[in-house]
Amino acid sequence: MSYANSRIPISAQPDVHAHLVARVRTHLTHPFRKPFADCNRLARDRALAGWDGRAPLILDAGCGVGHSTIELARAFPDHWVIGVDQSEDRLQRRKPYPAALLPANMVFVRADLVDFWRLLADDGLRLARHYILYPNPWPKIGHLGRRWPAHPVFPFIPRLGGVLECRSNWVVYVAEFALALALALGRPVPWSAFEAVRPLTPFERKYRDSGQILYRLCVDLDAAVS
Ligand SMILES: C[S@@+](CC[C@H](N)C(=O)[O-])C[C@H]1O[C@@H](n2cnc3c(N)ncnc32)[C@H](O)[C@@H]1O
């Protein structure tokens, strides 16, 4: 496939999955007790080793090759920015700057977010900002449970607080994420199409350059409900 020819996810599911609400309600009321893998505990320790314990935290969840993590660290120099991905190969890929020019206020760790999110929450940590940029869409109807909004770990995402932003090129994914969050928060979560004038990630650039519509939700989880 050539570079600017990527396709939006093809799915037989035209709208929010019929089972999503029931799934989210179950996850909100039943504790998720999957044991933690030691490698993810170590990743959590590594992610926080360089943190001074005071700087506001930013999590780039599923950061891929990490370009967004670097941009976020540059944009928020007084924050500690953690880029997490399960793929060591992606994390190791060449960065847009030489190592000497990479910001010092960030760290990349390989971990499974299913554990990593819960470990941060169990530590009582709160995020200032949380980015979930172009998560794997899992567009097949039968793969609902693999999408973050329908995954048992989902309730830990709002629990971490901060300004949460999720972006996707599949409108259904963002609609499902917003609905799941609205159920968790008890308030509506707006989302919309947006223009990626300055793409934050390689996937965003590729989708934009392929002429696709991109979708985003951004919500302050700590905002008081009026
Ligand atoms: C479609 S890519 C998007 C990467 C990047 N955010 C971007 O926009 O360029 C999704 C990323 O999520 C990562 N990922 C998927 N499931 C994960 C999990 N359970 N834990 C950590 N990373 C995961 C994948 O390895 C992949 O790099």
Amino acid, res. 69 = T
The crossing angle, in degrees rounded to 10, of helices 171-185 and 20-29 is: 40
Is 199:178 a contact under the CB 8 Å cutoff? no
Atom of ligand 1 nearest to the CA of 133: 6
According to CATH, what is the number of the domain 20-218? 3.40.50.150
pLDDT, tens digit (0-9, with 9 covering 90-100), for 130-163: 999 999 999 999 999 999 999 999 999 999 999 9
Output the pLDDT for position 3: 67
Which 8-state DSSP code applies to residue 199?
A: -
pLDDT, position 6: 80
128 lines ligand 1 (CB under 6 A): no
What is the pLDDT at residue 49? 98
Is the pTM higher than 0.85? The answer reads yes
Mean pLDDT value of segment 165-193:
98
Place of tokens 């660290």: 73
The predicted model gives 205-225 an average pLDDT of 94
What's the pLDDT band for 73 if we cut at 50, 70, 90? very high
Strand order in the sheet with 106-110: 106-110, 80-85, 57-61, 129-133, 163-168, 214-220, 191-194
For residue 97, what pLDDT is reported?
83
**126 CA to middle of ligand 1, Å?**
22
Q: Is the pLDDT of residue 226 over 80?
A: no
Which residue has a Cα nearest atom 3 of ligand 1? Answer: 134
Pairing of strands 106-110, 80-85: parallel
Residue 62 CA, ligand 1 centroid: distance in Å: 4
Average pLDDT over residues 48-57: 98
CA 142, 146, 152, 154 dihedral sign is negative
pLDDT of residue 142: 95
Distance (Å, rounded) from C-alpha 201 to C-alpha 205? 6
- Rounded (10°) angle between helices 113-122 and 38-49: 60
**Closest atom of ligand 1 to CA, residue 64:** 27
